[in-house]
């Protein structure tokens, strides 16, 4: 039986299927075309940029850090290049400790290198390259290179290291650089995009002193290289590059030779000295003793060195000039005398009778030695350092009047110096006490607390920077400048120097006759007063004031006996000074901790500083030794003209600590043979200075003694010694 086929029906089905297939093909092609349009037209720019990024790698070029030089152009901080052995943990095949042990068979890796590496590792990411050894010798580089295949994830890199040629000298002022920690990374995240981009590839940042405060000037501008890479990320060719711009040169106002002399005069004692030019606020010397070697922090300080510095009872990491606060003692009396003249509480010729003590209620405020001076006017109160005169004056003025008269000098507030981390100190008032303490009975000001303020004791606590700035303000007739340690910035490209002038913060417009009364009285201190022996034979006229500040409280019926007290409980020795008498060019304040009377320890150092600056005289080695022992008075031995004294030598790139003995000896010999670098010391408009100095000397680098640290200054009243 034959089956009849419906041809038309089959054709209709075929046509329908063909049409569906054609539509499907058209739709697919349409999707492809649409996708091509999106990729080639709509997202062309985005995808082109992404492809270019995959093909081109941007490599930052870290700039050379700028130099730090003293006022005469002597380099205090520079850079040197050295090889480092670095580990990238994410690329290691074996365990980290195993790799380090194997590396130690090829290159010497000391225990401190391991500890330093693991400390830095805590603050870093796994893909970051971290140094396990720095400053490799050529022989060590060759040994590792021959066995490089054994250590995937380990490589040798050439890096720039910071170098501080004079070690501890001016260490607190210059500061140091260190690896950027997490806290600093969080802070940098708030910077502008431009500033963040400038720090790409940078691993270190200024931590203290000039290095921190002038970080932006010293860092420079980061460059870059555009490198074409393969699909595997390997560089193929260099497409374009822009070199990095080195950091600017920061020129300080200090003289490194004077700075080194002052530190040497301190010897093994603790203390601080700040010297300022009253005419413009420039800091001439900024000393904190004991100090530390900032080279220890380059590349990361090892644990033993950090423990030694951090746990030392002498607190070498404390910047005493900037952050140490002390009662000013009798050095406060000239300021009290000026306040008396301004407020009319005393005239210059008005006298009081000093019988050796002052009674307030049932409390007896004593004078040093418990002996009276008899009739005392304002000049004699300063020359002979009468306590009774200022006990009475403080009682009459009251705490708030004292505060209002002392605040314009900058006591109890930041001076505005161009360094970070300055302490404010304490200038007491009734409001100050209400804000400082919590319990109601502590907030109240008692009249008896005012008496000791007159002699610089009680709640008074100031930094040597504040005291030196106040002294400069007083002798300048009330013109108060913000102290400045940087006098100019030299552009790394144009070599033009931008002079930085100190800001006039306040002009108190002190009356010239009143200023002359105080200056002449302070001159009398050096002629017939408490500093007579120290300033005998000086080639210039200067003014000064000795001071002795209490470190711990003694009872009312107990006499001070230094020999019966532990060294760190003894009184601090202070001295303030200015010179020359008519047109002062220097004003200073110095404290020698736990050293006794101001005339015994502090004044002799001040005398040598004034000799250096005003008379151009450098003390003899015999004289320096006497001052270090606290036995100095007037200078002994033949002096040397400052211009003939050689500068300290630069060290060999700071490499001595890590090189083998033979290499270190070679480095030391090279340092001896080569003088320190100097740049042109003459900013625009200034005469050349110190260009003829060609001989060099080694500054003292004695290790600071480990002695008990001084206790916090007592806030309760005590008599002040002259």
Strand partners, 88: 129
Q: Of 325, 609, 655, nearest to 467 (Cα)?
A: 325
> Can 330 be counted among the known catalytic residues?
yes
The CATH classification number of 60-252 equals: 3.90.1310.10
Tokens of 421: 């981390």
DSSP 259-277: HHHHHHHHTT--EEEEEE-
Q: How far apart are CA 502 and CA 280, in angstroms?
A: 6
Q: What is the pLDDT of residue 449?
A: 94
pLDDT at 611 over 60: yes
**Phi, psi values for residue 708, rounded to 5°:** -60, 140
Find tokens 């295949």 and name the residue: 149
pLDDT tens column, 174-191 = 999 988 888 888 899 899
pLDDT tens column, 612-623 = 999 999 999 999
Q: How far apart are CA 709 and CA 318, in angstroms?
A: 12
Q: Of 403, 586, 404, nearest to 483 (Cα)?
A: 586
pLDDT at 331 over 50: yes
Mean pLDDT for 494-514 is 94
Q: How far apart are CA 374 and CA 378, in angstroms?
A: 13
Q: How far apart are CA 324 and CA 318, in angstroms?
A: 7
Q: Of 216, 219, 226, nearest to 203 (Cα)?
A: 219
The CATH architecture of the domain made up of 256-553+566-644 is: 3-Layer(aba) Sandwich (3.40)
Find tokens 């015994």 and name the residue: 600
Strand partners, 374: 354
Residues 6+ apart with CB under 8 A from 619: 261, 265, 608, 611, 627, 635, 637, 639
pLDDT tens column, 465-477 = 999 999 999 999 9
* Identity of the highest mean pLDDT range in 20-34, 359-373, 390-404, 685-699: 390-404
Residues 6+ apart with CB under 8 A from 98: none
DSSP state at residue 709: P
Tokens of 638: 């033949």
Residues 6+ apart with CB under 8 A from 287: 259, 262, 263, 266, 272, 273, 274, 321
Q: How far apart are CA 455 and CA 330, in angstroms?
A: 5
Mean pLDDT of the chain, nearest integer = 84
Q: Do domains 60-252 and 256-553+566-644 have the same CATH topology?
A: no
CA dist 310 to 51, 118, 292, 313, Å? 52, 19, 11, 9
Tokens of 37: 């349009």
On the CB side of 233, CA atoms within 13 Å amount to: 1
Q: Which of 213, 260, 330, 381 is catalytic?
A: 330
DSSP state at residue 618: E
Q: What is the pLDDT of residue 441?
A: 87
In terms of Cβ atoms closer than 10 Å to its own Cβ (0-12, 13-18, 19+), residue 289 is: buried
Q: How far from each other are the two terminal CA atoms of the chain, in whole angstroms?
A: 144
Q: Of 343, 173, 152, 332, nearest to 250 (Cα)?
A: 173
Q: Of 393, 337, 280, nearest to 519 (Cα)?
A: 337
Q: Could you tell me how many residues make up the chain?
A: 722
Q: How far apart are CA 605 and CA 630, in angstroms?
A: 9
**CA 631 to chain CA mean position, Å:** 31
pLDDT category of residue 40 using cuts at 50, 70 and 90: confident
**Phi, psi values for residue 647, rounded to 5°:** -80, 160
Tokens of 372: 């009276």
Find tokens 């060609």 and name the residue: 694
H helix or E strand, kind and range, residue 134: strand 129-136
Q: What is the pLDDT of residue 208?
A: 94
Residues 6+ apart with CB under 8 A from 424: 412, 413, 414
pLDDT at 31 over 50: yes
Number of H helices and E strands in the chain, helices first, is 24, 25
pLDDT at 722 over 50: no
Q: What is the pLDDT of residue 405?
A: 97
Q: β-strand 497-499 against 486-490: which pairing, if any?
A: antiparallel
The domain ranges of the chain are: 60-252, 256-553+566-644
Other Cβ atoms within 10 Å of 303 Cβ, number:
15
pLDDT tens column, 49-72 = 666 666 677 778 889 999 999 999
Q: Of 231-240, 391-400, 608-617, which range is least confident?
A: 231-240
Tokens of 630: 């606290």
Contact 74, 647 (CB under 8 A): yes
Q: How far apart are CA 190 and CA 200, in angstroms?
A: 15
Q: What is the pLDDT of residue 553?
A: 54
Q: How far apart are CA 119 and CA 130, in angstroms?
A: 11
Residues 6+ apart with CB under 8 A from 111: none
Residue 290: is the preceding peptide bond cis (ω within 30°)?
yes
Q: How far apart are CA 560 and CA 578, in angstroms?
A: 30
Q: How far apart are CA 671 and CA 665, in angstroms?
A: 10
Q: How far apart are CA 284 and CA 13, in angstroms?
A: 105
pLDDT category of residue 19 using cuts at 50, 70 and 90: confident
Contact 463, 454 (CB under 8 A): no
């Amino acid at each position: 039986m034959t089956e009849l086929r419906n041809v038309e029906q089959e054709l209709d089905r075929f046509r329908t299927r063909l049409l569906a297939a054609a539509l499907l093909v058209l739709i697919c092609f349409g999707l492809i075309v649409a996708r091509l349009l999106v990729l080639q037209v709509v997202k062309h720019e985005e995808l082109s940029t992404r492809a270019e990024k995959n093909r081109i790698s941007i490599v930052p070029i870290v700039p050379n850090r700028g130099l730090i030089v003293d006022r005469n152009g002597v380099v205090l901080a520079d850079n040197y290049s050295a090889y480092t052995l670095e580990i990238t943990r994410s690329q290691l095949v074996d365990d980290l400790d195993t790799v380090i042990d194997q590396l130690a068979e090829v290159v010497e890796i000391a225990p401190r290198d391991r500890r330093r590496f693991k400390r830095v590792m805590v603050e870093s990411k796994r893909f970051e390259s971290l140094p396990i050894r720095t400053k490799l010798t050529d022989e060590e580089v060759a040994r590792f290179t021959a066995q490089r295949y054994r250590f995937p994830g380990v490589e040798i890199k050439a890096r720039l290291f910071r170098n501080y040629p004079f070690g501890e000298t001016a260490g607190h002022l210059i500061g140091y650089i260190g690896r950027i920690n997490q806290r600093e990374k969080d802070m940098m995240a708030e910077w502008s995009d431009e500033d963040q981009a400038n720090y790409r590839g940078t691993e270190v940042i200024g931590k203290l002193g000039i290095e921190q405060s002038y970080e932006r000037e010293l860092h420079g501008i980061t460059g870059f290289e555009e490198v074409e890479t393969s699909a595997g990320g390997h560089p193929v060719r260099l497409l374009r590059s822009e070199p990095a711009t080195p950091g600017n040169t920061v020129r300080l106002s200090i003289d490194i030779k004077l700075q080194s002399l002052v530190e040497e005069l301190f010897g093994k004692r603790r203390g601080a000295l700040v010297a300022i030019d009253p005419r413009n606020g420039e800091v001439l010397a900024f000393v904190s003793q004991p100090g530390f070697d900032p080279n220890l922090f380059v590349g990361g300080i090892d644990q033993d060195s950090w423990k030694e510095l951090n746990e030392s009872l002498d607190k070498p990491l404390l910047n005493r000039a900037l952050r140490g606060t002390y009662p000013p003692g009798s050095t406060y009396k000239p300021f009290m005398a000026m306040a008396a003249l301004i407020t009319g509480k005393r005239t210059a010729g008005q006298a009081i009778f000093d019988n050796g003590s002052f009674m307030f209620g049932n409390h007896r405020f004593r004078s040093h030695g418990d002996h009276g001076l008899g009739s005392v006017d304002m000049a004699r109160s300063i020359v002979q350092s009468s306590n009774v005169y200022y006990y009475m004056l403080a009682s009459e003025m009251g705490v708030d009047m004292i505060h209002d008269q002392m605040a314009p000098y900058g006591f109890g507030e930041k001076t505005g110096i161009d360094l970070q981390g300055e302490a404010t100190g304490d200038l007491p008032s009734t409001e100050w006490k209400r804000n400082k303490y919590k319990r109601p009975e502590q907030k109240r000001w008692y009249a008896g607390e005012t008496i000791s303020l007159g002699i610089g004791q009680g709640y008074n606590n100031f930094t040597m920077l504040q005291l030196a700035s106040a002294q400069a303000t007083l002798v300048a007739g009330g013109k108060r400048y913000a102290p400045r340690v940087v006098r100019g910035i030299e552009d790394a490209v144009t070599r033009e120097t931008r002079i930085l002038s100190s800001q006039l913060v306040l002009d108190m417009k002190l009356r010239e006759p009143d200023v002359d009364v105080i200056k002449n009285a302070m001159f009398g201190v050096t002629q017939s007063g408490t500093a007579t022996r120290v300033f005998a034979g000086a080639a210039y006229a200067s003014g000064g004031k000795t001071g002795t500040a209490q470190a711990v409280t003694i009872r009312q019926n107990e006499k001070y006996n230094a020999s019966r007290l532990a060294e760190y409980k003894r009184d601090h020795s202070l001295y303030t000074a200015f010179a020359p008498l008519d047109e002062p060019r220097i004003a200073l304040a110095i404290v020698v901790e736990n050293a006794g009377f101001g005339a015994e320890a502090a004044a002799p150092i001040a005398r040598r500083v004034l000799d250096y600056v005003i008379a151009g005289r450098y003390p003899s080695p015999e004289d320096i030794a006497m001052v270090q022992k606290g036995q100095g008075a007037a200078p002994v031995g033949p002096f040397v003209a400052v211009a003939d004294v050689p500068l300290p030598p630069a060290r060999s790139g700071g490499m001595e600590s890590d090189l083998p003995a033979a290499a270190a000896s070679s480095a030391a010999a090279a340092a001896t043979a080569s003088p320190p670098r100097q740049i042109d010391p003459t900013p625009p408009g200034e005469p050349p200075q110190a260009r003829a100095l060609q001989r060099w000397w080694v500054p003292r680098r004695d290790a600071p003694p480990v002695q008990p640290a001084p206790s916090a200054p007592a806030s309760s009243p005590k008599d002040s010694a002259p």
